[in-house]
Amino acid sequence: MSGNAHGGEGVTGRDEFRRAVDAAMLSGGTAPLGDLVLCDFCDEDLTRDPRTGGFMFGSKAVGPCCSAGSLARIKGYGEEWNIRGRCPDGVSFADWVRGMRGPGAAVKVTRISFRPGGAS
């Protein structure tokens, strides 16, 4: 499952981030992102992924995992104007995203109110 153990304590990772988001949800706060880079389309963890490619679509970071397919769809909908930047050649998607958002990035979590009864 965990493949070859590199000895790197993986404190940044999707699970870790989810725990932080869960905690922030309870308190209505923010979850620090650290180095974490996820594809906002498919949720793939790209933190250590060396692939280049991908782009910003609105406020979403679309990774190389999804860029080809979603680009075609975006063009089909005529929403290319919403592409705010593309990952330059030779730069990994993760580095590009980290560079744009700068240090100390965090996700603001809107507190969820649990309503009995559910929908609307």
Give the interface with Zn ion as residue ranges (CB under 5 A).
Answer: 39, 41-42, 44, 63, 65-66
β-strands 83-86, 106-108 pairing: unpaired
- Determine contact, residues 11/34, Cβ cutoff 8 Å: yes
Q: Closer to Zn ion at the Cβ: 34 or 63?
A: 63
The contacts of residue 45 (CB under 8 Å, 6+ apart) are 13, 14, 36, 37, 38
Smallest distance, Å, CB 74 to Zn ion?
A: 14
Which C-beta is closer to Zn ion: that of 41 or that of 95? 41
Smallest separation (angstroms) from Zn ion to the CB of 41:
5
In angstroms, give the least distance from the CB of 44 to Zn ion: 5
Within 8 A by CB and 6+ apart from 69, the residues are: none
CB of 34 to Zn ion, least distance (A): 20
Quick check: 29 and 109 in contact, CB under 8 A? yes
